[in-house]
Amino acid sequence: MTKTALIIGVSGQDGAYLAQFLLTKGYTVWGSSRDAEGARFGNLDRLGIKDRINLISISPEDFRSVLVGLDQSSAQEVYFLAGQTSVGLSFQTPAETMLSNSQGMLNLLEAIRFQNRSLRVFHAGSSETFGDVGAEPAAETTLPHPRSPYAVSKSAATMLTANYREAYGLFACSGILFNHESPLRPQRFVTQKIIQGAHAIAKGRQDRLTLGRLDIARDWGWAPEYVEAMWLMLQCDTPQDFIIATGETNSLQSFVELAFAAHDLDWRDYVETSDSFSRPSDIAHSAANPSAIKAALGWQATSKMPDVVRKMTAACT
Ligand SMILES: C[C@H]1O[C@H](OP(=O)(O)OP(=O)(O)OC[C@H]2O[C@@H](n3cnc4c(=O)[nH]c(N)nc43)[C@H](O)[C@@H]2O)[C@@H](O)[C@@H](O)C1=O
């Protein structure tokens, strides 16, 4: 029998790749955005799948709209990928960030409980939950130490998901996603800003690139691989939270170096730094231990940071 999935937040990077992946698996795919009639769905267009998705409007902060969306799609699997995704922006829009990420996920869990639906639900959690990790990479058991309104909103939604699983027996789980990138990433995120900046400089369309702190370090993976992990988590016998990451941490400076080297340029000739991109509090070092998902589901990231740079650069036009 054909399976049906609903992706709440289909217009973003992960929503688009997940929709594409589920179509290859033969799913009927429903995808939501706040205003499905007004939205452009540029990422779905870019992947050439817009016409194959049943597009509907859901505002996750609006309980009624979530209930109606679940009814309309009759999905067996629901993926919550909606909400405000920028850590930097969350310092300026803390309330909106809390509402869209925490209240939105709570509404979905409550709607499933209220309608007594036996569907499976995936929540996109974030490594931001862990804050700065020390020498020991974060594992599923690492205690939260959120350092931004975004991180607090994701931590709350992750805890709510676990609570509804334990209290009401819902098949609900969170993937604790570390940074994952692709050509669909907007330039508000540092990787795409660097890739596009280096490309524009190489083409003579731009002189300099201004960035914030270069000494921060992240675990950067390849987004199309991460959506497969999301799907695998809903195919398990029992729901469980997993870290989704490569297990390799690199500095932002090394990312910049590779992005410019891809055009035979020395980054030091073009990159300057400015405090205007600094955050009130930031994570200096983020690192993951993704061994649990490999052991349980056989999933592991094959593209590491240099592959991410290479593939994002290759997609530049
Ligand atoms: C896992 C997590 O991953 C992402 O959050 P993020 O790590 O904050 O991503 P980002 O690319 O905005 O920043 C990465 C680092 O880079 C530093 N940085 C330096 N210079 C610039 C700069 O010029 N722009 C930006 N944006 N950052 C800069 C910045 O201060 C930060 O330390 C989201 O997907 C989020 O949804 C998520 O869950």
Whether residues 39 and 131 share a domain: the answer is yes
- Decide if 183 contacts 223 (C-beta within 8 A): no
Whether residues 213 and 104 share a domain: the answer is no
How many structural domains comprise the chain? Answer: 2
Residue 225: inside a domain: yes
Say how many Å lie between the CA of residue 17 and the centre of ligand 1: 20
Rounded Cα distance, 79 and 70, in Å: 11
Dihedral sign of CA atoms 254, 258, 264, 267 in order: negative
Q: % helix / strand / coil in the chain, to the nearest 5?
A: 45, 15, 40
What amino acid occupies position 139? A
Whether residues 30 and 128 share a domain: the answer is yes
Residue 95: inside a domain: yes
Question: Which burial class, exposed, middle or buried, applies to 254 when counting CB atoms under 10 A from its CB (0-12, 13-18, 19+)?
Answer: middle
- pLDDT value at 117 more than 90: no
pTM exceeds cut of 0.90: yes
Question: What are 31's two structure tokens?
Answer: 């995808």
The pLDDT assigned to 251 comes to 98
Say how many Å lie between the CA of residue 30 and the centre of ligand 1: 29
The pLDDT assigned to 181 comes to 98
CATH number at residue 262: 3.90.25.10
Residue whose Cα lies nearest atom 20 of ligand 1: it is 212
The pLDDT assigned to 283 comes to 95
Residue 168: inside a domain: yes
Tell me if residue 150 is catalytic. Answer: yes
- pLDDT value at 135 more than 90: no
- Cβ–ligand 1 distance for 218 under 6 Å, the answer yes
Tell me if residue 37 is catalytic. Answer: no
Alpha helices in the chain (DSSP H): 13-24, 42-46, 63-73, 87-90, 94-98, 104-114, 149-168, 190-202, 223-233, 252-261, 291-297, 305-314
Range of the domain at 86: 4-180+221-244
Pocket-testing residue among 129, 158, 179, ligand 1, by greatest number of atoms within 8 A of Cβ: 179
Question: Which burial class, exposed, middle or buried, applies to 245 when counting CB atoms under 10 A from its CB (0-12, 13-18, 19+)?
Answer: buried
- Decide if 285 contacts 235 (C-beta within 8 A): no
**Which entry of 126, 127, 148, 155 is annotated as an active-site residue?**
126
Whether residues 140 and 277 share a domain: the answer is no
- The number of the ligand 1 atom at minimal distance from the alpha carbon of 284 is 32
Residue 171: inside a domain: yes
Whether residues 176 and 151 share a domain: the answer is yes
What amino acid occupies position 82? A
Whether residues 53 and 138 share a domain: the answer is yes
**Which entry of 128, 181, 225, 257 is annotated as an active-site residue?**
128
Say how many Å lie between the CA of residue 72 and the centre of ligand 1: 36
Say how many Å lie between the CA of residue 313 and the centre of ligand 1: 18
Residue tagged 């909106």 (tokens)? 96
Residue whose Cα lies nearest atom 27 of ligand 1: it is 190
Whether residues 208 and 230 share a domain: the answer is no
Whether residues 79 and 195 share a domain: the answer is no
- Decide if 84 contacts 97 (C-beta within 8 A): yes
Whether residues 159 and 209 share a domain: the answer is no
The pLDDT assigned to 123 comes to 98
Residue 296: inside a domain: no
Tell me if residue 270 is catalytic. Answer: no
Residue 290: inside a domain: no
Residue 292: inside a domain: no
- Decide if 220 contacts 250 (C-beta within 8 A): yes
- The number of the ligand 1 atom at minimal distance from the alpha carbon of 189 is 11
Whether residues 197 and 271 share a domain: the answer is yes
Question: What are 44's two structure tokens?
Answer: 């779905």
CATH number at residue 29: 3.40.50.720
Band (298; pLDDT cuts 50, 70, 90): very high
Average pLDDT over residues 4-10: 98
- The number of the ligand 1 atom at minimal distance from the alpha carbon of 273 is 20
Q: What digits encode the pLDDT tens for the residues 155-168?
A: 999 999 999 999 99
Say how many Å lie between the CA of residue 221 and the centre of ligand 1: 13
Return all residues near 138 (Cβ < 8 A) that are at least 6 apart. 127, 130, 176, 243, 286, 287, 288, 289
Residue 143: inside a domain: yes
ipTM of the modeled complex? 0.99
Whether residues 103 and 193 share a domain: the answer is no
- pLDDT value at 95 more than 90: yes
Whether residues 253 and 268 share a domain: the answer is yes
Question: Which burial class, exposed, middle or buried, applies to 260 when counting CB atoms under 10 A from its CB (0-12, 13-18, 19+)?
Answer: buried
Residue whose Cα lies nearest atom 10 of ligand 1: it is 189
